[in-house]
Amino acid sequence: MDDERTLAEQPLDDVDAATLTEIRDLYDAGDPVPEDLVERVKFSLALDEMFDEVARMTRMPLDELAVRGEAPTRTETLTFSADRLTAMVTVTPTSGGRLRLDGWLAPPAPHRVGLRLQDAGELEVVADEDGRFSFESLDQGFGQLSFRPLGADAEGASTVVTPLFQL
């Protein structure tokens, strides 16, 4: 313990530098930053729309497999929580390898719902008075939702956006 204390009070030296380099290599090999994460972050930040709040994203696994993070189930429920609204979103596979996204806003109110897709442009639908909306025939990829109350001004004063998430 005393050895450790003495060591702790010495200045950093080349051995420490070499050890830290080895630690960095260890994590670069074993748990690297996912390929394309930086590109995806840049995409998600390049939205033209002004927004007022970023929703917090929670994945809701539907069964044990998803909990263990193995063989991800193809139906996934995501919850996006913001101060002014909560969106529950379910992504389901449809025929031909495409996906369908169904969502529900609470409290229910008509909104313009935008879906920016990393490789396929932008889509927009209107959530009805019950707060329901859907996008059909989507390809797998990454997307980002935005919610703007119908009738709200275009300055984004009450727009909620989500982080980019995998479809």
Partner 1 sequence: MIHADPARHSVVQRAADAFAAYRDGDRASFDELVTVLTPLLWHTVRGQGVDQVAAEDVVQTIWMRLLHSSASIRDPQTIVQWLLTAARREAWRISKRTRVEDNRRAPLPSQEGEQADVPTGPEDLTDETVLREERQRRLWRHVQGLPDRCRELLRVIAFADRPDYAVIAASLGMPVGSIGPTRGRCLAKLRNELMKDPQWEGSES
Residues that bind partner 1 (CB under 8 A): 3-5, 7-27, 29-34, 37-38, 40-42, 44-45, 51, 53-54, 56-57, 59, 67-69, 161, 163-166
Residues in the chain: 167
* Residue 112 CA, distance from chain mean position: 19
Q: Measured from the CB of residue 50, what is the shortest distance to partner 1 in angstroms?
A: 10
Contacts of 150 (CB under 8 A, 6+ apart): 109, 110, 111, 112, 126
**Smaller CB distance to partner 1: residue 50 or 106?**
50
CB of 67 to partner 1, least distance (A): 6
Alpha-carbon 138 to chain mean position: 17
Alpha-carbon gap, residue 90 to 101, rounded angstroms: 6
Q: Measured from the CB of residue 54, what is the shortest distance to partner 1 in angstroms?
A: 4
Beta carbon of residue 57, minimum distance to partner 1 (angstroms, whole number): 5
Question: Under 8 Å CB-to-CB from 134, ≥6 apart: which residues?
Answer: 100, 101, 102, 103, 125
Judged on CB neighbours under 10 Å (0-12, 13-18, 19+), 118 is: middle
Whether 160 and 134 have beta carbons less than 8 Å apart is answered as no
Shortest Cβ 16–partner 1 spacing (Å): 6
